Amino acid sequence: MLNRSILRFLLGLLLAGAGAACGSTGGDFPAPPAMLAERYHDGIDPADYWVSEKLDGVRAHWNGSRLRLRSGQPVAAPGWFVAALPAVVLDGELWMGRRSFDRLSGLIRRNAPDDPGWREVRYMVFELPGAEGDFSTRVQQLRELAERAAVPWLQAVPQTRVADRRALQRRFEEVVRGGGEGLMLHRASARWIPGRSSALLKLTPWHDAEARVLAHLPGKGRLHGMTGSLLVETPDGRRFRLGSGLSDALRRSPPPPGTLVTYRYRELTPAGLPRFPRYLRMRDLP
């Protein structure tokens, strides 16, 4: 008997296909199933994993005919962009290069497929949701799919192996020095399973988490008349102020209450609050 996770996956594909057939572009479909990462720690042997750069992009799911965000909302990508994508289910990141998230998210928010900025976007695929075989098999399949498409905007995320923890640390330091987010580790023997899994790990120089904006707190001194900080709440109900990392432009036009934002922090205090939290980005996209 199929388990509930696989049944949900198949149902999602059927619904997405029905939406493509009827031309629906609304947000009435469930979020596509995805494999989510846990954090890497020193007790793990990285030799068992494929290693790739953690891309600072917008995650996007391709159901074989339609491109959607992690939330399930459709992406208004150009016709030429999606026409080159294969008729198989893909998971990946829309990406414009390191440190380009704000520019990319702005492009997607504008819902303007005729915007020339799309010429700079690449769909970096790293997974074949629901496919048979282990991750090593899927890595080869992704490479072959990208090669057959033969277009610059569809690429398989480069995956490499490392011999040991020392080699992983060297790779990590190289990526971070170059402005990258960190690394992703995917266990070579792992089959695809939706949900959070120890088969997929992330290694970053900081912790990141999400919180919901509750209110805008007024600024003082130079920030008088602007937002000084955001009052945010974590999914488990912890509230704190988030001001570091806000640009003047964001302080003049801050994320509205209800918006989901991502922040970074070094560690948790004994009270369970993030130490040195820093605003990173809005996670909610149209």
Helix (H) or strand (E) holding 90: strand 90-95
Q: In the block, which residue shows the tokens 């890497």?
A: 40
Q: Give me the residues paired with residue 123 across strands.
A: 94, 154
Q: Which DSSP letter does residue 85 get? A: S
Active site residue 54: yes
Distance between CA atoms of residues 211 and 262, nearest Å: 7
Q: Is 240 helix (H, G, I), strand (E, B) or coil?
A: strand
Check the CA dihedral 234-240-243-249 and report its sign: positive
Q: Which DSSP letter does residue 158 get? A: P
Q: Give me the residues paired with residue 232 across strands.
A: 213, 240
Distance between CA atoms of residues 72 and 126, nearest Å: 18
Q: Which of these is catalytic: 32, 54, 201, 255?
A: 54
What are the Cα distances from residue 266, in Å, to 87, 152, 217, 236, 275?
42, 37, 23, 19, 6
State the catalytic residues.
54
